[in-house]
Structure 1
């Protein structure tokens, strides 16, 4: 394998377990016969970044600072295994001058390739807003939980962030997924990186798109030159 692969910068820690899972997939999807065949990864696992789900925090400023530091450390392309934080994608790219591999676009494209017209998304309010826009650009509609069930989903999500990966969390996520199916969803997107920690295809009755998995695969392809670099910010 060529040693000319690009260096990947990872804005992580949102949350830490999801970042570790992403890094494990990145390593697993890289074809390598020896250590030197792997991609160089510079990761800032920063769980101190403000909660992306709380309005009025300075999450964008913190993420921009992280991105700039990753470039200073040698990163050539960025990835961020957090759906909600992609609301700050523009400022991250402007601050660093580096392109960001867009996991929301990857997931929307994958959902479209199934032929579905209505896509159920398990995600935060911020992630749902992003997915609604991206899916509309691909001529698809978003199916979301009703407000009271969205609040219950967030409570489950924060339990997972606190380390609860048990059967109860899986059953609750299965329940939310089934509600989306009954509401007309034809495919599901795990629109928060904590969701796949407790839920996979075997747990649901629809195809489950995992944006973090797609992100890891795309980062390998970009860094090894199999896929073109994302467009750099102007």
Structure 2
């Protein structure tokens, strides 16, 4: 029954974010020896179509055709759950779940549960994400479902966020955390947000200060914890 605990990781969106997710799984697992860690099958499909482009251009079949083959591979590997360390891809989580009986961990839903438990109803939640994720409305809809108020950055701030993700992180450019921290501070102090969601796994790579972190819930952290919980259950 060992394989029942195996975690499937459908990654590559992007590759660096996937490697950080794997590292966090390992670092967050209480273990005294190799055998205490969870088994993972990691599929780093970096050539998948860009999720933001697919959503904005309304061409889901490009992404879903490719992802279905990956899901079949994970089925063959007999994984018990599938984790997808990419927020934008969760726009298609229902379509992906229909392809398989293996549970796909819904990072968006799990993140909003954590925020609601901590902040309660009427919490104003700032969303730091790609244009694709914002356009999809997955976090805004989930926030409203939990009686919270979603808040999107202004257009200039959103362009700044996109530059950090696509101009810098995806190209391997060294990031100054202060740029993202200033955005978080602006959303808290000027826009009146009580909590900020780090809703892009590329942004999860940036090492934030303790002061900035206290205002944030990182969706990747939530996915890491849920993946370990399910794998060690």
Distance in 2 (alpha carbons) for counterparts of 1:59 and 1:198: 27
Distance in 1 (alpha carbons) for counterparts of 2:211 and 2:64: 34
Q: Cα deviation per residue 1:72-98 (whole Å; 9 max; x = unaligned)?
A: 122121000100000111122222221
TM-score normalized by structure 2? 0.88
Distance in 1 (alpha carbons) for counterparts of 2:43 and 2:22: 12
SS of 1:127's partner is: helix
Q: Which of the residues 201, 204, 225 maps onto 1:217? A: 225
Distance in 1 (alpha carbons) for counterparts of 2:32 and 2:147: 42
Q: Cα deviation per residue 1:89-132 (whole Å; 9 max; x = unaligned)?
A: 11222222211111111211122122261001100133231100
Partner residue, 2:119:
115
Give the root-mean-square deviation of aligned CA atoms: 1.9
Partner residue, 1:33:
32
Q: 1:86 to 1:205 in 2, by over 3 A?
A: closer
Is the 1:26–1:216 Cα contact (8 Å) retained in structure 2?
yes
How many residues are matched? 222
Are 2:180 and 1:138 equivalent residues in the alignment? no
Q: Cα deviation per residue 1:133-156 (whole Å; 9 max; x = unaligned)?
A: 111111001111112321221111
Higher mean displacement: 2-11 or 20-29: 2-11
Q: Cα deviation per residue 1:176-232 (whole Å; 9 max; x = unaligned)?
A: 21232211110111010111211425252752111111111111111111xxxxxxx
Q: Which of the residues 176, 179, 186 maps onto 1:179? A: 186
Partner residue, 2:173:
164
Partner residue, 1:93:
97
Is the 1:165–1:197 Cα contact (8 Å) retained in structure 2?
no
Gaps of 5+ in 2: none
Distance in 1 (alpha carbons) for counterparts of 2:44 and 2:8: 11
Partner residue, 2:212:
204
Distance in 2 (alpha carbons) for counterparts of 1:104 and 1:201: 24
Q: Which of the residues 82, 85, 88 maps onto 2:86? A: 82
Is the 1:157–1:195 Cα contact (8 Å) retained in structure 2?
yes
SS of 1:36's partner is: helix
